[in-house]
C-alpha cells in the first residue's frame, strides 16, 4: 500500500517541521532568550499536533484489522521488553523490535510502531510528560527510516540473510545515535536552561552553541548513554533478527498481510 504523492509531500513537510523543532538550537541563530523560550513552549504544544497529523495521514484507509493486530502485538512486546530492561543504565531495548518490524512491514507501519511503542511504554510506567511527543516522533522517524531501507531479500541463502542482518544492525547503530542526538538536543535547552557555560546561548553563533552542546553531551554522560543504546540495539538486532524476521514474515505470508509504506 503506497500513499499518493500529495500525502508524501505532506509527510515530508511534517517530518522537516518536526526535525526543525528538535534541531533549532544548532541550526538557527535565534535572537533573544525570550524568543527561544517562546519557541520552546510553543513547540511543546505543536509537536503532539504534528504527530497526530502524521499518524492520521498514515492510518487513513491503510490499516486493516490484520495490520492493527500485529501493530498491537509488536507495540505490547516492545513496551514489555522495555519495562523488563528498564532501570539498567544504558540498556535500551525499545529499538530492535521497531527496526525489525518496520523492515518487514514497511515504513508507514514503522512510523506508527515507533510512536505507539513509546506511548504505550509511557502509559505503563506513568512516564507521560512534555517530552513524550518528542520521543514518539523521534522513534517514529527511526521506524520510518528502517522501513525505507533497501530490501535485500531473495531466497533463503545464508549469504543474503547475513547481509540483511548486517544492514539492520548497521542501521541500529546509526538510528540509536540519531535518536539520542535528537532527544539530547531537545532536553538541552529544557534541562540545562540558559545562562550556564554549557547551556544553550540564544543569539550566539551556531559554532559556539555546537561547542556548548558537545560539552553538555560529554559532561552529562549523555554520550555514554547513547553509546549504550547503540551497543544494545545492535547486539539485540544481531541476536534476534534471524528468528524475528522469519517469524514475522511467516505471519505476514500466512495471514496475507500487506506492507504499509509511506
Tell me which of 223, 240, 258, 259 binds other proteins, using CB under 8 A.
Answer: 240
x/- site string to other proteins, residues 193 to 212, per CB under 8 A? xxxxxxx--------x--xx
Least distance from C-beta 21 to other proteins, angstroms?
A: 6
DSSP letter string, 28-68: ---S-HHHHHHHHHHHHHHHHHHHHHHHHHHHTTT--HHHH
150 vs 253 by CB, closer to other proteins:
253
Closest CA to 184 of 25, 4, 16, 9: 25
Cβ closest to other proteins, residue 53 vs residue 148: 53
User: Contacting other proteins (CB under 8 A), which of 151, 162, 170, 191?
Assistant: 191
Give 5 or 150: the residue with its C-beta nearer to other proteins: 5
Q: How far apart are CA 20 and CA 28, in angstroms?
A: 9
* Sign of the alpha-carbon dihedral angle for 230, 233, 235, 241: negative
Angle between helices 222-255 and 95-105 (to 10 degrees): 40
Q: Toward other proteins, which CB reaches closer, 53 or 166?
A: 53
Query: Contact between 223 and other proteins (CB under 8 A)?
Result: no
**Which residues, including other chains, have CB under 8 Å from residue 235's CB and lie 6 or more apart?**
none
3-class secondary structure, 164: helix
Nearest CA-CA partner of 115 in 60, 59, 41: 59
CA 153 to chain centre: 24
Among 86, 166, 223, 251, binds other proteins (CB under 8 A): 251
Give the per-residue contact string, 154-183, with other proteins (x = CB under 8 A; - = no).
------------------------------
Show contacts with other proteins in window 130-149 (CB under 8 A): 130
Interface of this chain with other proteins, residues 16 to 75, rule: CB under 8 A: 16-17, 20-21, 24, 28-32, 35, 37-46, 49-50, 52-53, 55-57, 59-61, 63-66, 68-73, 75
Which one, 48 or 166, has the nearer CB to other proteins? 48
Amino acid at each position: 500500500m503506497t500513499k499518493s504523492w500529495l500525502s508524501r509531500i505532506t509527510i515530508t513537510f511534517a517530518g522537516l517541521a518536526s526535525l526543525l523543532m528538535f534541531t533549532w538550537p544548532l541550526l538557527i541563530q535565534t535572537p533573544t532568550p525570550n524568543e527561544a523560550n517562546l519557541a520552546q513552549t510553543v513547540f511543546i504544544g505543536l509537536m503532539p499536533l504534528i504527530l497526530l497529523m502524521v499518524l492520521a495521514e498514515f492510518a487513513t484507509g491503510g490499516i486493516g484489522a490484520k495490520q492493527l493486530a500485529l501493530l498491537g502485538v509488536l507495540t505490547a512486546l516492545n513496551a514489555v521488553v522495555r519495562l523488563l530492561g528498564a532501570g539498567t543504565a544504558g540498556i535500551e531495548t525499545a529499538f530492535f523490535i521497531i527496526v525489525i518490524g518496520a523492515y518487514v512491514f514497511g515504513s508507514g507501519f514503522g512510523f506508527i510502531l515507533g510512536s505507539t511503542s513509546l506511548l504505550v511504554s509511557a502509559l505503563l510506567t506513568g512516564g507521560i510528560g512534555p517530552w513524550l511527543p518528542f520521543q514518539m516522533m523521534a522513534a517514529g522517524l527511526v521506524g520510518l527510516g528502517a522501513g525505507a531501507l533497501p530490501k535485500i531479500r531473495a531466497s533463503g541463502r545464508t549469504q543474503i540473510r547475513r547481509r540483511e542482518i548486517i544492514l539492520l544492525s548497521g542501521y541500529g547503530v546509526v538510528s540509536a545515535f540519531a535518536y539520542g542526538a535528537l532527544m539530547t538536543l531537545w532536553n538541552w535547552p529544557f534541562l540545562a536552561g540558559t545562562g550556564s557555560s554549557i547551556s544553550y546561548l540564544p543569539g550566539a553563533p551556531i559554532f559556539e552553541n555546537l561547542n556548548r552542546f558537545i560539552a553538555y553531551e560529554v559532561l552529562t554522560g549523555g554520550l555514554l548513554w547513547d553509546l549504550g543504546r547503540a551497543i544494545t540495539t545492535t547486539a539485540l538486532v544481531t541476536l534476534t533478527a534471524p528468528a524475528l524476521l522469519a517469524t514475522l514474515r511467516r505471519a505476514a505470508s500466512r495471514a496475507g498481510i500487506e506492507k504499509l509504506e509511506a
